[in-house]
Amino acid sequence: MADYFYGCITVGGDLRAVDLPRFCGTLASAPFDVSEHIRNGFFEIDRDDARYGQFEEFEELCRELGLSYIRQSDGKYEFSPEIAFWKPGMSGPYRVITDHNGNMLVTMPTVRQIRDALVAHNIPEACFLADRAVVDLPELPPFRLVENEG
């Protein structure tokens, strides 16, 4: 049995009009007005009852349609809160565990590697490890509904 908890997804990119019914259909059983979910130029939807705080079918469709997204999910029980994102060119979504305030976390082994490099005065290695530990969220393109291409 699945657990349901809060999730929010923000989508950017060009959605072709022909794909609109599938886009809406993965989120609701009845058609809805996409414009009601436009916030700051992006499509955004949040739910208190998202399965595992995710939008699995919708995220898969966004990847199929080439729409970039950032999803934030609360945690519950054994599921940690996370941020996941995808943009065209990525092989799959990237996930980062967060605390309950949405702050991204770094694992203790990563912190120890950075510390050990610093103790060894290997500043280039410490910088490399620190840069690798930092995750920058992608900048999403504006969400637009576009006419079908010929």
What per-residue confidence (pLDDT) applies to 79? Answer: 86
Q: State the Cα–Cα distance between residues 118 and 128, nearest whole angstrom.
A: 11
Q: For residue range 92-126, what is the model confidence (pLDDT) as tens digits?
A: 999 999 998 889 999 999 999 999 999 999 999 99
Domain residue ranges of the chain, discontinuous segments joined by +: 4-105+136-146
DSSP 8-state assignment for residue 2: -
Instruction: Tell whether pTM > 0.75.
Output: yes
Q: Which residues contact 58 (CB under 8 A, 6 or more apart)?
A: 9, 26, 27
- Say if residues 146 and 14 touch (Cβ distance below 8 Å): yes
**Residue of 39, 61, 55 whose CA lies nearest to 6:** 55
Q: For residue range 50-72, what is the model confidence (pLDDT) as tens digits?
A: 999 999 999 999 999 999 999 99
- Say if residues 90 and 101 touch (Cβ distance below 8 Å): no
- Say if residues 9 and 70 touch (Cβ distance below 8 Å): yes
DSSP 8-state assignment for residue 100: T
Q: Could you tell me whether strands 68-73 and 4-16 are parallel, antiparallel, or unpaired per DSSP bridges?
A: antiparallel
